[in-house]
Structure 1
Amino acid sequence: MGKMDKAAGPASELIDARIAELEDWRGQTLARLRSLIRQADPDVVEEWKWGKPVWSHDGLICTGETYKSVVKTTFARGAALEDPSGLFNSSLEGNTRRAIDFREGEAIDEDAFKALVRAAVALNTSA
């Protein structure tokens, strides 16, 4: 995977390293989600917090966590976002956060995911 021109700084390098060390479908999924986040918001800021990738724009958008059987994106203010495609399938009981668990072999609804990222940015920038 080649370096993207927007990827700069230690956080982006840590995310690159995390993707590389996974060496399986989880790394590929995390890389794809990262790409979609960057497409949805070219001004996104990549950070490394709590031992995981974090994407922000005027506040936290989402995190990218990897587990044995899922890659999880947790949207900090997901409960306040419209989710017409029903992507949120995890952390549904909370008052604030919502998450999406991606499993091996599952297709990513790229347009719906990018729409969620854009909605999260809009919510952050309106506050």
Structure 2
Amino acid sequence: MPLRPRSTLDATAPAPARSRREEEGRDTATRAENTRAENSDQPRLLSGGNPQIPKGDGPEPVAAYIAAMPGWKRELGERLDALIVAADPDVRRAVRWNQPFYGYGESGFHLAFRCYTTYVQVQFLRGASLEPEPPKASKHPEVRYLDIREDEELDEALFSAWLAQSAKLPGDHL
């Protein structure tokens, strides 16, 4: 049967079938974390285990995001945050779109990170201007990514060099 726009469907037509993924729910770890979150003050975990944190400015919402990161990702989030703050103790912190953003002075935001199922992704908003460029390209020409998996070591010297370079570039006003 050809698909028709919803407005032309009659009210007695059955609802569209749900996908297997919708029927089974998300991965078991995320379901278990969300069950705990529903029964406490813990933030809900979105797809891939990314914490759902309300938009906010300052270190408190960022600390809440990091505290809600699941498993090994929490320790990595704490380390990333510590390196960013060590590079500039006056760094501006905020949560936007369920991820922490960091910026320097009034120039806007320079980087962010978020959880995915098997890695944490650091987003350098002007990454194409960094030397060397972070390894992963984006559909946005200036953005570059660094994906960090559980069994990988963070090259703190290179990460700190990227932070120092980022601070000298214009940021994004989100």
Does the pair score TM above 0.5?
yes
Q: Per the alignment, in what secondary structure is the counterpart of residue 119 of structure 1?
A: helix
Identity of aligned residues (%): 32
Distance in 1 between residues matched to 2:142 and 2:59, nearest whole Å: 27
In the other structure, the counterpart of 1:69 is 118
Distance in 2 between residues matched to 1:122 and 1:11, nearest whole Å: 21
Greater RCO (Cα-Cα under 8 Å, separation 6 or more): 1
Q: CA deviation at 1:10?
A: 5.2
Structure 1 residues 92, 48: closer, same or farther in 2, change over 3 A?
closer
8 Å CA contact retained: 1:47, 1:55 = yes
Matched letter for residue 100 of structure 1? L
8 Å CA contact retained: 1:20, 1:27 = yes
In the other structure, the counterpart of 2:162 is 116
What CA RMSD, in Å, does the superposition of the two structures yield over aligned residues?
A: 1.9
What does residue range 81-120 of structure 1 map to in structure 2 within 5 Å?
81-83=130-132, 88-92=134-138, 94-120=140-166
Larger Rg: 2
Confirm or deny that 1:39 pairs with 2:75. no
Matched letter for residue 115 of structure 2? T
Pick from 19, 29, 32 the counterpart of residue 76 of structure 2.
Answer: 29
Where do 5+ consecutive residues of structure 2 fail to align?
Answer: 1-55
8 Å CA contact retained: 1:37, 1:117 = yes
Structure 1 residues 92, 51: closer, same or farther in 2, change over 3 A?
closer
Matched letter for residue 33 of structure 1? L
Q: CA deviation at 1:93?
A: 5.7
Where do 5+ consecutive residues of structure 1 fail to align?
Answer: 1-8
CA-to-partner distance for each residue in 1:71-111, whole Å, 9 max, x for gaps? 1110111101111xx6x222356411001001002111111
Pick from 47, 57, 60 the counterpart of residue 13 of structure 1.
Answer: 60
Give the TM-score normalised by structure 2: 0.60
Give the TM-score normalised by structure 1: 0.80
Count of aligned residue pairs for this structure pair? 114
Distance in 2 between residues matched to 1:71 and 1:102, nearest whole Å: 5
Matched letter for residue 159 of structure 2? F
Matched letter for residue 16 of structure 1? A
In the other structure, the counterpart of 1:53 is 100
Q: Find runs of 4+ consecutive structure 1 residues off by over 3 angstroms.
A: none
